[in-house]
Amino acid sequence: MYARLLPLLLGALVLSTPALAQDEDDAPLAYPDDDEEVEDAPRKLPPRSSDPTADHDRMADERAQEDDFERMAGDDDPNKGFAGELIMGAMLLESSQGRFADPTFGLGLRFTWEYGRILNNEPLRETLWLDVRWMMAGSSAGTTLINGSSRNHYFSLAPAYEFVFGAEKTYGVFGQVGGGFAYQSTSLAIGEELTPVKGIKPLLQYGVGFRGRPRLSERMSLSFRLELMRFRRGYMDDTFVGGSIGTAF
């Protein structure tokens, strides 16, 4: 009996060995693909700085760099922003005889300074400027026996704002308001007797116009304007319609 059981036990042991090799505890582990491991792996955030002022300092450095860029924006422009022009046109003097106006010839000089260049602001470089102007206009009327003549001199300081356009921003339309004083010299001649009258009145200047500065060379441009300008001297209004031409550098 025992002789028969021994071969049966040995056979059972031999057959049970493959089954034990497939036990779940001894089975090989499955490794995911590299792509799946990268996608499923948790991402690490960059370490947060322990200094609470680090972000503020970084933003301050960026603003400082932007300010430096704005200050250097005009370094490649060799022009200084100065111009001088000769003014000519028609001056319509307010008539003391009840007419619309007494037309006469107006002549003058103008010096311009583009003060927007010193403000370290690129949009304002070409749009803000200031005029120093002198103009003269005169009239005379009467007979050979009685004759009156007058000369008006206009001195003004007037800032302006210009809306520039064009690829190089050399053209624009502008509005201008300023002030100064008007010096008037009047003489009345009756026969051989001459009576002079002189006086100074406050002056208000305002108007609009078109301005151009096409470049002639690297450091010089042609400067010209067409303008409609009003001069109020005391209680009288004179209107100038004309233009000017000169150079800018």
Does the pLDDT value for residue 61 go beyond 60? Answer: yes
Task: Give the DSSP H or E segment for 133.
Answer: strand 128-142
Tokens coding 50: 């322990």
Pick 209 or 73 by higher pLDDT: 209
- Residues 169-214 pLDDT 10s: 899 999 999 999 999 998 888 878 888 889 999 999 999 999 999 9
Does the pLDDT value for residue 11 go beyond 60? Answer: no
pLDDT computed for residue 182 by the predictor: 97
Alpha-carbon span 126 to 246, nearest angstrom: 18
Tokens coding 32: 């995911």
Query: Can you name the residues that pair with 224 across neighbouring β-strands?
Result: 212, 245
- Length of the chain as a residue count: 249
Pick 60 or 208 by higher pLDDT: 208
pLDDT computed for residue 193 by the predictor: 84
Alpha-carbon span 41 to 20, nearest angstrom: 34
Measured in whole angstroms, how far is the alpha carbon of residue 52 from the centre of its chain?
Answer: 38
- Name the nearest CA neighbour of 196 among 186, 206, 207: 186
DSSP 49: P
Query: Do residues 157 and 113 touch, judged by C-beta distance below 8 A?
Result: no
Does the pLDDT value for residue 91 go beyond 90? Answer: yes
Ordered by start, the domain boundaries in the chain are 2-44, 62-248
Burial class (CB in 10 A: 0-12, 13-18, 19+), 25: exposed
One of 2.60.40.10, 2.40.128.120, 3.10.580.10, 2.40.160.20 is the CATH number of 62-248, namely 2.40.160.20
pTM of the model: 0.68
Pick 24 or 177 by higher pLDDT: 177
Measured in whole angstroms, how far is the alpha carbon of residue 27 from the centre of its chain?
Answer: 77
Alpha-carbon span 138 to 185, nearest angstrom: 9
Does the pLDDT value for residue 155 go beyond 90? Answer: yes
What mean pLDDT do residues 222-231 have? 97
What mean pLDDT do residues 125-134 have? 94
Average pLDDT of every residue of the chain: 80
pLDDT computed for residue 4 by the predictor: 60
Pick 88 or 191 by higher pLDDT: 88
Tokens coding 85: 């022009």
What mean pLDDT do residues 113-133 have? 89
